[in-house]
Amino acid sequence: MFSRRDFLQFAAVTASLTGFGSGLTKVAAQQRLTQDDLLNFDSKGQVTLLHLTDIHAQLKPVYFRPPSENIGVGAFEGVPPHLVGEDFLRHFKLDAGSALAYAHTMVDYVDLARAYGRLGGLDRTATLVKSIRAERGDDAVLLLDGGDTWQGSYTALKTDGQDMVDCMALLKPDAMVGHWEFTLGAERVMEIIDSMETPFLASNIVDKDWEEPVFESTRLIEKGGVAVAIIGQAMPYTPISNPSWMFPEWSFGLRRELLQQNVDDARAGGAEIVVLLSHNGFDVDQKLARDLNGVDVILTGHTHDAVPSALNINNTLVLSSGSHGKYLGRIDLEVKAGKVVDYNSTLIPVFADAIDPDPEMKAQIDKVRAPHESELTRVIGKTESLLYRRGNFNGTWDDLICQGMMEEMDTELAFSPGFRWGTTLLPGDDITIEDLYTETAMTYPSVYRLEFTGEDLKNILEDVCDNLFNKDPYFQQGGDMVRVGGLGYTCYPKNEIGTRIDSMTLLSSGERIDPLRNYTVSGWASVNENVEGPAIYDVMESYISKQATVNVQPNEAVKIAGLD
């Protein structure tokens, strides 16, 4: 059996023999990767934590291109997760062309994607989970769901999340938290929670009238003879980044003092290990690791970041397990006298072609998809270019969406929100309804057509930019920069609010944006209630169908400056 380092070197050596450009065939890639290789791990201690997060309703294997920009500011400049491409490979000592280089970076992405294939698929994840439980014993393993599970696909939208609820039930998670789950509305969320065996935890949500907890904060579970406290943390800024009218009676927030109290109460109640199951975002949780006392592990989500192993910050292990089912996070803990004395951690890339699908999960996935299969596979166009969403500034899927909105809504400019959910299509792929909904499936999809002054446009960009690049992570809300169509500008991420956006230009004329002039703007996913307009997926189906074949050129109108 290979060690983890042997596996990494094996993958790298094979790449050096075959080449990792167009010469690397899918057969060669599959020969080098096996399910046993992926599962190989130096087990430790009594307790194994498994972590899934930000699946965004992706039941099947996917392509998901990692970002080309993930800019950190202040204390988080140039440190994980704010490393991409070659910098990421150097920092984590990964060889170009290796399996993990493909899983974690955009370097040679198209060639390597064609060689290594898709990642994820809940039936493959189920195989890994069952294998680890069999190796360690059910009594030693905790499986934790970091949220953003019930939203992000055609079937999830059409079933109000029930497809994911039914499939996840087969994995038997020990706890979960939420964020996009709340966009199903409070009534539907409570209906699902009442039907689940999995505890839904949220230490930081209280009702607005009495500030009483809405959900359980903590679940104490014994695993491997060790008392483990799981404390849940929902996305603190949900009512800002998503429509608050969908859950009007609930108050969110970071609530550090309450969180610390819950940690202290867990310790007083006998917990030997305290795990924070969080949807705060990686930078927020890195700061919390320094601010909180008594937390052994933070399993973080929301920002879709992925690192090959946990970071040790002030003796708190922080692991971010990516998104879209691409990875399964694992941390093993050895505990003596109520303290963690040793650990090992990894992020397992779920290479779909190397893993045998779990028959039970595969049957359930087929069952929930069957009523929708003809629509899911309906082809509406083809792409000649790589379509992806991730990156702080540019994503070709959203460039395409902006083009479509400007054309279909007859506007000068367009805004597409900087969502981090949405999968990737390779050049030459068909565009199906399933692909389109993977980028647009949400419960407030209306496309608006409004007028904004040039000053309004500047203020919008400055506000979103501050959310992304505020030096204090507690003021960051996740996501990437709003995508723009028809507009060019220069961004200075290290500047302060009000001075980050410059040189705004109307691309159609080359003229500078006039602060006093009105501009027609289309956009979608407004958090306001009663927004009127067609659904974004209908607008884009019309546009893509008319184009037949799309080719999105690199966006050079948005420039990044001042990073040196």
Render pLDDT for 517-554 as a digit per residue (tens, 0 to 9).
999 999 999 999 999 999 999 999 999 999 999 999 88
Kindly give, in sequence order, each residue whose CB lies less than 8 Å from that of residue 13, ignoring residues fewer than 6 positions away.
Answer: none
Please give the Cα distance from 418 to 460 (Å, whole number): 13
Kindly give the residue spans of alpha helices, DSSP state H, lying in 382-453: 396-409, 433-440
pLDDT band per the 50, 70, 90 thresholds, residue 162: very high
Q: For the whole model, what pTM was predicted?
A: 0.94
Output the CA torsion sign for 527, 232, 145, 388.
positive
pLDDT average, residue stretch 335-355: 96
The answer on pLDDT for 12 being more than 80 is no
Burial pattern 51-87, b for ≥16 Cβ within 10 A else e, equals bbbbbbbbbbbbbbbbbbbbbbbeebeeebbbbbbee
> With contact defined as beta carbons under 8 Å apart, do 230 and 142 qualify?
yes
Q: How confident is the model at residue 32 (pLDDT cuts 50, 70, 90)?
A: confident
Q: Would you say residue 4 has pLDDT above 60? A: no
Give every CB contact of residue 29 below 8 A, 6+ residues apart in sequence.
99, 115, 116, 117, 353
Q: What is the pLDDT of residue 232?
A: 98
Residues 245 and 229: their CA atoms lie apart, in Å, by 33
β-bridge partners, 206? 213, 251
Sorting pLDDT into bands at 50, 70 and 90, what band is 6? Answer: very low
Question: The tokens of 109 are what?
Answer: 């992405």
Q: How many separate helices (H) and strands (E) can be counted in the chain?
A: 19, 26
Question: Per-residue confidence at 33, pLDDT binned at 50, 70, 90?
Answer: confident
Q: Which domains does the chain have, with CATH numbers?
A: 42-63+117-368 (3.60.21.10), 377-560 (3.90.780.10)
pLDDT at 29: 56
Residue 5 has pLDDT above 50, yes or no: no
pLDDT at position 275 is 98
Segment 300-311 shows an average pLDDT of 96
> In whole angstroms, what separates CA 149 from the centre of its chain?
10
Q: Could you tell me if 502 and 462 are in contact, meaning their C-beta atoms sit under 8 angstroms apart? A: no
Cα-Cα-Cα-Cα dihedral sign, residues 186, 190, 196, 201: positive
Distances (CA, A) of 197 to 109, 147, 168, 496: 40, 16, 11, 46
Beta strand pairing call for 226-233 and 273-278 = parallel
Consecutive H or E run containing 143: strand 141-145
pLDDT at position 1 over 60: no
Residue 31 pLDDT: 52
- Which pLDDT score is estimated for 478? 78
Looking at residue 518, what is its pLDDT? Answer: 98
Whole-number pLDDT of residue 476:
87
Q: Taking all residues of the chain, what is their mean pLDDT, rounded to a whole number? A: 94
Alpha helices, DSSP H, located in 43-153? 85-91, 99-104, 109-116, 122-136
pLDDT band at 28 (very low <50, low <70, confident <90, very high): low
Specify which residues 521 forms β-bridges with: 413, 450
Q: How far is CA 517 from the centre of its chain?
A: 37
112 and 24 Cβ atoms separated by less than 8 Å: yes
Q: How far apart are CA 498 and CA 463, in angstroms?
A: 8
% of the chain with per-residue pLDDT over 90 = 92
Residue 341 in 3-state DSSP? strand
Both tokens of residue 92?
């984590």
Q: Which helix (H) or strand (E) holds 36?
A: helix 35-39
How do residues 353-411 score in pLDDT, each as one tens digit? Answer: 999 999 999 999 999 999 999 999 999 999 999 999 989 998 999 999 999 999 999 99
Dig out the tokens for 403 from the structure: 């083009």
Q: Does the structure show a pLDDT above 60 at 277?
A: yes
Over residues 444-486, the pLDDT tens digits come to: 999 999 999 999 999 999 999 999 999 999 998 878 999 999 9
Hey, is 131 helix, strand or coil?
Answer: helix
pLDDT at 8 > cutoff 70: no
Rounded distance between C-alpha atoms, residue 321 and residue 229, angstroms: 20
Tens of pLDDT, residues 90-104: 999 999 999 999 999
